[in-house]
Each structure stands twice: as structure tokens, then as C-alpha cells.
Amino acid sequence: MKKKLLAPVLLSSALLASSIPVNVFAQPADPAKYQYVQASKEWNEKASVPLFVKERFTEKFSSSTPANAINYLKKHQDHTGIKSPEKNLKVKEVQKDELGMTHVRFNQAINGVPIEGSEVIVHYNENNEVVSVNGRVNQTIAEAAVNTSVSLKSDTAVKTALTAVNAPQELTYEPVTELVVYPFEGENHTAYKVNVNFMGDEPGNWFVFVDAKTGEVIDQYNGIMHAEEHKTQKGFGKGVNGDHRELHITRVKAEKSGTKFALADYSHDNLDGIFTFDSKNDWDSNNDALYVGNSAAFIGDYDRAAVDAHYNSERVYEYFLNEHGRNSLDGEGMAINSYVHMGTDYNNAFWNGQYMAYGDGDGEFFISLSAGLDVAAHEMTHGVISHTANLAYRNQSGALNESFADVFGVLVDDEDWEMGEDIMAPATKADGVTRLRSLSDPNSVVVSNPERAAYGSGVYPAHMDEYYNMPLNVDNGGVHVNSSITNHAAYLIGQEVGREKLGKIYYRALTVYLTSNSDFSDARQAVVQSAIDLYGEGSGEAAAANAGFDAVGIY
């Protein structure tokens, strides 16, 4: 069942072992080709209570430690609503940022078992003073006892999950399980959270919650994200739209055909590399190989999708490194892998939790999706999100996942505030569809998927008055449609503060304040607080952040 995972080796396929969500950039023109299968039940929102406490009078400690954060929360538990924090919180991460602030992130837990979606972050300033606390807590835990004992073995839960999502025999990596308390349908279930990842006609990065006592599936959703020394040199190629690209490539020796050149970039310090693979219009990753040419010039028609994917991956990597000091998607130099020629006439691109995948388009709605720098930035940002706030890919948190990916898409591809303008096919442009989404004017773009359009006005919303109330089985609750509301807020802020400051504010909000179940209101608080952190209380940047969200009806 398990596919062997190898570090990127020239002339062989490679995958990154990870268990992080995947998020789809664009839906196929024919919705029947790609659908989400969702449980019909709803997340128990009453068990996910937002928390944002900003101290007007800071409390100073001798050090910015988790222990002192717990002491603070214990002292103020009536104010925060977090009962017995010393017993009910587990340290997840301690992060110190460039402002000298320290952020202690906790998982809420019961009997040591983490509660899904419940995180609390305590923020210290550079003087070891607690200045704010935010996150989401499950207050129903304090009202009712939860039995965290289990009757089911984890491997049994895995088998149940595989059956529930119709997983193929060939998986991208071995399923990952975690015992959690899962708030759902008014109850707090002790469950195994099973992550199942596979490719194919309908790629999956499923999260399945299996009751640890009964074995029943409680809920499920699809989140669809060197062997030797190599010397990198410069080559060049021609992109999908005819652009000439300078590339970092590697000379390799094939057993029978002599010297060749691979789209493998080892030129960046402390980065495992940037690699581009050829899926050869097949979903079977066993057939994938590192993209190789006979010369340093990749100028054939078939090469063009790979050229753009390789070039754009490096551009996005350099943006996050130069603008935010982030070394790759995980911040620790993980390899950046892209797969081109995915499927046949496939109108999609996605991050599957391990790598970027780009379809060639059907030539009628999309051309090769790797042509878009904003598309690459969008998909790679999903990878950054997976390693930071890890926004759950459903409802408003999922819409924020899409929105932050769009925002960084237009920050990297900074020619305009539109998404997908470089991947639309000529026939689509002739019909007046010149981009996929617009941050500057969301209402100017029609929602082309009729199933989604039926839940609203038929155009992308720019204000909460136009919000699409979708069930989970349609666009995971509206993640691609409702994201345009917060997209527009970002655009309005950017018009006041400029792209560079917008990027810094949004990156801080994503990496410091947001948690997995954050909603639109949480995003406003996170963005405003980030503007205050960076530019000061009463600054023009903070005022712009408030005004941007006011303008779209997020209060």
C-alpha cells in the first residue's frame, strides 16, 4: 500500500513525506470532472469560541516562557474563559519574531488529548510583558466530562478511513493518525483523525474522523497541498506564453544516452532544492521523472509548462525569503517540488500537501496552469499556510485559506490585482472571461460554476451582504467564492499602505495570530493587531486595516 519515499534524486521520482492540507486553486470548467465528497453534518461551531484579549495594562514577567504564560492565563481565567489552563493546555510551539516578541502557542486538551481546532496563543512583547491573547477555545469541555478512553486500535481506524474515502491501493504516503477530541453535532467525540493522501483522477488529501469507541466515521473532508553532489548551472527556456526564462538546471549523466540537463536547482543555500517533474499526463506517480532535456535550452512546445513551473517556483521562493525571511514553505528549507502535465486536459492546479501539481488545461477554458506566476504563488502559499496557521479547508477558515493564497499570489505577481489572467484560454478571453478572480473588483467576475453560482448573485461577492451560504458539499462551504470578500479587504488596505506593507502585515497575521478555525472576524483582529505591532497604535497602517474590513462588512 505504501509508496516508498525518496529524497529528490536525479532521473527518479521524488515526494516529500508530510501530512499537511491541500488546497485547490481552480475548479475544472466541467464540475462533474472533480467534486468534493463531504459528510452532510456540520462542525459544532458552539465548541469553537473566538478569543481575543488585548491588555491595556500589560503584565510583566521575568521571562517569556510557557510556564509564565500559563500563570498569566490561570490568573485571568475568568476573563479569558479558559478554565484550569495548567491542566487543559499543552505547549505546541514557542516562536520569537523579528520585533523581539515571543508567541507561545498552546493546544487545548482534555486528559492530554488535543481538542481539534482549539488553540490559544499568548503574546509577549520584548520586555517579557503579556500584551495579548488570542485563539479559539472549546468552552463545552468545562461543562461536560469527556471520556477519552479508546476501544479501537489506530490501524482499524485507518482501514475505516481508507474505505470511507474510496482510497486506491497506491497511496502517496502512509496514512497519519492522531487521537483528538472532535467537537461535532453538539458532542465532543474522542476520535482518530486520519489523514489519507493519494493521487488519481480525483486527488485526495482527506481528513477522516473515526470514533475511537464505535469505529464509526463522524466526519470527513477533502483538504485538496542528495544522493550525490550536483553542480547547478544556468540554462534557459521558453514559457507557455512565449516568455524567455533563465533557469537554474543541473547537468546529469544518463546510463545510455550520455549527458543531459535536469530541471533541478541546488543553487540556494540551506534549501534542499527546487525540482520540476514530468507526470506525462498520467496520475501514477511511479511514471513521474525529473524533467530532463538533451541540452541546456528547454524550448520545445512540450517543455513550456515545465519551464514556467520551474521558473515561477524560484520566484515565489525568493519572495518569501527576501520579504519575510522564510526559507521555503516550511521555513526550514524543504525541497520545492512541482509536477507538470498532470492528467489529460486537466483544468486545475493544486497543492496536495507535498508538492504543486499543474494540469495542462483543456485549451478551451484554461491553458497550462503553470503559466501563471500568481497561480504558483497561490499554490505555494497553501504550503506556507499548512506549516503556520493551518487554516481548516472548509467554511470561513477555508475561505481565509484561499484568500491568503490569493493575496500572496498578487503580491508576488505584482502587475495587477487579478488572479489567473495568464492562464485563460483564447476562447475564454473571447467570451469576456479574462481572469479567474479579481481582488480590486470581485463583482466584475462571474462565478462560472453553476452549482456555486446558485447560492448567491452569480458574481463573486465583495461584501458580507453578498455572502454565499453554501453547504459543505458545495465548494467545501464556499471556500473559493466567499474568499473574494476578504480579498477585497486586502486590496483596499493595499491601496492605502502599498504592497510591501500589506505583505508584511498579512504574513504576520498568518504566522503569528491565526489558528486553524479562525473566521473572518478573527482575520480582521489578526490583521489589525499585526499592523499595530509593526507600525504602532494609531498609525495610518492600523487605520487602513480597520477601514478595509469595515468596507466589506467584517466588524
Could you please report the per-residue DSSP string of 239-278?
-TTS-EEEEEEEEEEETTTEEEEESEE--STT---EEEEE
Q: Where are the beta strands (DSSP E) in 279-431?
A: 289-290, 292-293, 297-298, 336-342, 349-351, 356-359, 418-419
Which residue blocks in 338-461 are alpha helix, DSSP H? 373-386, 395-412, 426-430, 450-453
Task: Return all residues near 450 (Cβ < 8 A) that are at least 6 apart.
Answer: 31
Asked whether 232 and 248 are in contact (CB, 8 A), the reply is yes
Backbone φ and ψ of 54, nearest 5°: -115, 120
> CA–CA separation, 494 vs 28, rounded Å?
30
Give the C-alpha separation, 493 to 415, whole Å. 17
What single-letter DSSP state applies at residue 22? -
Catalytic residues: 379, 480
Cα–Cα distance for residue pair 59/386, rounded to 1 Å: 32
Q: Locate cell 492530554: which residue?
A: 112
Q: Do residues 554 and 482 make contact, with C-beta atoms less than 8 angstroms apart? A: no
376, 377, 379, 382 alpha-carbon torsion, rounded to 10°: 170
Whole-number Cα distances in Å, 325 to 121, 353, 413, 543: 22, 22, 18, 26
The closest of 225, 518, 508 to 398, measured between CA atoms, is: 518
Question: How many of the other CB atoms lie within 10 Å of CB of 257?
Answer: 9
Beta strand pairing call for 437-438 and 418-419: antiparallel
Maximal C-alpha separation, the chain: 73
Q: Reduced to 3 states, what is the DSSP secondary structure of residue 102?
A: strand
- CA gap 427, 455 in Å, rounded: 27
Q: What is residue 168's three-state secondary structure?
A: coil
Query: What are the residues whose beta carbons fall under 8 Å from the beta carbon of 237, sequence distance 6 or more?
Result: 244, 245, 247, 297, 298, 299, 303, 304, 306, 307, 310, 311
Evaluate whether 219 touches 42 at the Cβ level (below 8 Å): no
